[in-house]
Amino acid sequence: MLPPLYPSEPKFEFDYLELAGDAWDVGRAHGVRVRRLIREQLDAIWRHAAASGLSQQEACCWAEGQLGQIEAMAPHWIDELRGLAHGAGISLAEAAALQVRPGSGELVGGCTSFAALAETTADGRLLVGQNRDLAPAYRSRMFVGLLRPEGRPAMLMHCVAGELGGVGMNSCGVCVFANSLWSRSGRTWMAPPLVRRLILECESAQQAAERVAALPAAAPGNYLIADADGAVFNLEVLPEGTQVLSCQQGLLAHANNCLSPELAAHEPHTLPMPGSAQRQAWLSHSLADRRGAISLELIKELLADHTTRPEPICRHAAHGADWETVSCLIAEPAARLLHLSFGPPCEGRWFTYRCIAA
């Protein structure tokens, strides 16, 4: 196992795993290395299902029924799920449940993402990333994984244990960051881990955006996609459709509300994250005010902001029901670098990882 590059405070960090081989090998190693965390995440999946009125047996049967659709998206994922199930000592249906989240389908987050194109930064580097805001318990169930599956790009991901797809980048320089969105009509069968993994198996942002837009029932959410050539696509996805947003003057900020009027019309009247619009607007204006001088350190400062209300961009949980920023991620796609904080970025526990194919 290789350590992260340039650890600033090695006392606190996410576990780092390298998983290589064919699909079954990668899945099995994943299951073996974080077996306990996978079981904790499964318990959370069953609690979410119960809140939606499903028993564990019903939720498991529903998840098993989605295996055919998962296989249609990517047949090799089934082999990886079989390996995951074997390594973690769970059933294939339970491995599927980790991907499709029976019931509401939600691992609700209050994330804030951004993109700063090369023409807006101080040194001409494209910078993209997000604050990843979740319930505090998720910090202990997450790890940084470098997957090297045979015949596919390597993938450096910040993962929830048991999920096929986290957020991060691949060895082609393709990045994905994601935010929760909601529709009054509910969910599709799919959940974000599958969309994120689909993106990270692509060779360009253009290819990834096209593949997501072509999905017949993509998981609701906002997917910020970028690559080493400087292409950036921001996809808002609801069951009612997909809208692609462009960067205005080379900058983009997104939170947990739709910016496209076409999809905003389908959102709930009261969003689960009522302060989303304020977070998005503050970050958008802050980036615009510093256009041409945006740097890695400035992004770290902005994503550590506590002033926006009612929801600060950098969150701290007072108790288990609160949200916290479990990690901040900032990618430099051209250099294949991912800067990642353990916990809220204001606490300064930063690590840098490189995504390399071999």
Q: What residue ranges do the domains of the chain occupy?
A: 112-143+166-354
pLDDT at position 35 is 97
DSSP string for 257-271: S--SHHHHTTS-SS-
State pLDDT tens for residues 310-329.
999 999 988 767 889 999 99
Say yes or no to pLDDT of 6 above 70. Answer: no
**Cβ neighbours of residue 105 under 8 Å, at least 6 residues apart?**
187, 188, 191, 219, 220
Distances (CA, A) of 135 to 166, 204, 356: 16, 32, 31
pLDDT at position 356 is 86
pLDDT at position 358 is 73
User: Hey, is 87 helix, strand or coil?
Assistant: helix
Say yes or no to pLDDT of 9 above 70. Answer: no
pLDDT at position 320 is 67
pTM of the complete model beyond 0.75: yes
CA 308 to centroid of chain Cα atoms? 23
State pLDDT tens for residues 49-103.
999 999 999 999 999 999 999 999 999 999 999 999 999 999 999 999 999 999 8
State pLDDT tens for residues 153-209.
999 999 999 999 999 999 999 999 999 999 999 899 999 999 999 999 999 999 999
Where does the pLDDT of residue 108 fall: very low under 50, low under 70, confident under 90, or very high at 90 and above? low
Give which of 180, 129, 138, 131 is closest to 163, Cα–Cα.
Answer: 138
State pLDDT tens for residues 117-127.
999 999 999 99
Q: How far apart are CA 72 and CA 79, in angstroms?
A: 13
The architecture (CATH level 2) of 112-143+166-354 comes to 4-Layer Sandwich (3.60)
pLDDT at position 281 is 97
pLDDT at position 15 is 94
Q: Residue 119 in contact with residue 328, Cβ under 8 Å?
A: no
Say yes or no to pLDDT of 216 above 80. Answer: yes
Q: What is the DSSP letter of 5?
A: B
Q: How far apart are CA 357 and CA 167, in angstroms?
A: 17
249-274 burial by CB neighbour count: b if 16+ within 10 A, else e?
A: ebbbbbbbbbbeeebeebbeeebebe
pLDDT at position 2 is 42
